[in-house]
Amino acid sequence: MLTLLKLLKDGRFHSGQALGAALGVSRSAVWKQLQHLESDLNLSIHKVRGRGYQLAAPLELLEQGQLDTSPWPVSINHSLDSTNAEALRAVDRGATAPFVVLAERQTAGRGRRGRQWVSPFAENIYYSLVLRMDGGMRQLEGLSLVVGLAVLSALREVGVSDVGLKWPNDVLVNNKKIAGILLELVGDPADVCHVVLGIGINVNMRVASEVDQAWTSVYLESGVAINRNVLVSKLNDSLRIYLKRHAESGFSAIQSEWEQNHLWQGREVSLIAGVHQVNGTVMGIDQQGALRMNVNGEEKVFSGGELSLRLRHDS
């Protein structure tokens, strides 16, 4: 089925006879594979008598050869439950970090707080980088915020100029989510552990009715479909630079840059944890990446993976 998809990815018409000859199968076998492409990958295929079969839109697949300059080994997967889940399984199997897991689609993509991450085939980037951490908690301080800056930098390089950050793990354009980050840790954070830096970027996605929040994509912002291999390469380079700075100097060296890119700096917000809500004004972040808020004239600091930050209606 993947071989057939590679034949069709150019978006041109291909006759059933030509496809069958290329695959070494009958035209009826080609027809069955086309049905699987439509049902399994939710791809739209035009069928025109006398002309053959054509994808509704050309596809740019992730290609190992275009990612050879990656600073880390990269595995590209046709379909996974989630790249983070596969990365954690690879750690369990004894894979040597650092390494990157990519997928063309996810069947059970995850966001923060148990949310689904909608992951259509060959439209976006589903990316997990696994790092081994030796030497305690300091290396984890503000790490998700550092990753956010790396994603921000990569998106600006491909022309998304209005992009900014929202504490703790969202990347937004005009208050619409274009990327998200999910960090997962296995092992002893006080000694030796592995951390998975999960990144989802909406790249060429145009329609996603199942997304339950305001979203956008590189395509919707620029009007141009981009090669995802190029963006993955820029993301790799950006992560390498920011992670090196973080490892050498700690999060405090990056704190000011993060605050300069925080879209909600100085805004009136509500911080929600379960059924509890705290209202205040964003002051910034501390040297560990925790959120600083003015609450009724008093500075308070908040951190934790289950917190949600929202703008107040009167902000």
Could you give the CA distance from residue 7 to residue 74 in angstroms, rounded to a whole number? 24
- Among candidate residues 105, 112, 166, 228, the one labeled active-site is 112
Report CA torsion sign: 72, 75, 81, 85: negative
Contact 46, 56 (CB under 8 A): yes
Q: What Rg, from alpha-carbon coordinates, does the chain have?
A: 22
> Is 83 annotated in some ligand binding site?
yes
The reply to whether 112 belongs to the active site is yes
> Is 111 annotated in some ligand binding site?
yes
Q: What angle do CA 139, 143, 149 make, to 5 degrees?
A: 135
Token reading at 64: 């190992």
> Is 223 annotated in some ligand binding site?
no
Could you give the CA distance from residue 19 to residue 176 in angstroms, rounded to a whole number? 41
The reply to whether 206 belongs to the active site is no
**231: number of Cβ within 10 Å:** 21
Q: Return the axis-axis angle of helices 143-157 and 228-249, rounded to nearest 10°.
A: 140
> Is 177 annotated in some ligand binding site?
yes
The reply to whether 177 belongs to the active site is yes
Closest by Cα among 146, 137, 170 to 246: 146
- Among candidate residues 166, 177, 228, 234, the one labeled active-site is 177
Contact 150, 238 (CB under 8 A): yes
- Among candidate residues 51, 244, 310, 312, the one labeled active-site is 310
Annotated binding site for biotin: 82-84, 106, 110-112, 177
Active-site residues, by number, are 112, 177, 310
